[in-house]
Amino acid sequence: MNKISSSAQPAVDAQALRDEVKLKYRDVATNPEQNFHFHTGRVLTQRLEYSEAITSPIPEHAVESFAGVGNPFSLRDLELGEKVVDLGSGAGFDCFVASALVGDKGQVVGVDMTKEMLGKARTLAAEMGLNNIEFRDGLLEKLPVEDGWADVAISNGVINLCSDKERVMAEIHRILKPGGYLQFADIANSKPVPQAAIQNIDLWTA
């Protein structure tokens, strides 16, 4: 894995973007029954072909705030005992899946910046007795994880919401062990985006 530098300047105000993202996903955490412009919940997990053998035991209120865009576990099977970091863990659904896959000897750390998501994730993990998960308050651009700790980094529809993606990738590189894996699902655009659109924070979370 090559070292990644972060020299480019973000094209949008990073703090303003974070504030907008927090507002939107606060609602997903506290009012998941709302209609959002993206899909959520168990129906979404089925559409994204998550293993029902893993997801069926997870209670409904631990799935309702899931808002991923893909299935990072479809890229490679996690192994027993692996250490996993979920970048933008939300209410914890992907962490709960990872917890089952890595087993009691594995560890899962979820990182999120939204207070309501973190609170919900911690409550759910405690309710389900998942002792191999920890949720930490933090940014993808400055992950609260030590160097070379993780075997695997996963993310699901969150990197696209960060203004400084080079910084995010540098942080992923930092926390992964040599030969570690990045398994993520996200939204990408192969065509050039006009500068006016890049600077429109509403479009980032639309």
How is the chain split into domains, by residue range? 14-201
State the pLDDT at residue 7.
45
Query: What is the rounded CA–CA span in Å between residue 93 and residue 139?
Result: 18
For the entire predicted model, the pTM comes to 0.89
Q: Which residues of 158-190 are buried (b: 16+ CB within 10 A; e: fewer)?
A: bbbbbbbbbbbbebbbbbbeeebbbbbbbeeee
State mean pLDDT over 54-68. Answer: 96
Question: pLDDT tens, 94-133?
Answer: 999 999 999 999 999 999 999 999 999 999 999 999 999 9
State the pLDDT at residue 4.
45
Model confidence at 134, pLDDT cuts 50, 70, 90, reads: very high
State mean pLDDT over 33-40. Answer: 89
Enumerate residues 6+ apart whose C-beta is below 8 A from 46.
52
State mean pLDDT over 80-90. Answer: 98
Q: Distance from first CA to last CA of the chain, Å, rounded?
A: 33
Q: What's the mean per-residue pLDDT of the chain?
A: 90
Which is the CATH superfamily of the domain at 14-201?
Answer: Vaccinia Virus protein VP39 (3.40.50.150)
Model confidence at 154, pLDDT cuts 50, 70, 90, reads: very high
State the pLDDT at residue 198.
61
- Bridge partners (DSSP) listed for residue 84: 108, 152
Model confidence at 42, pLDDT cuts 50, 70, 90, reads: very high
State the pLDDT at residue 188.
76
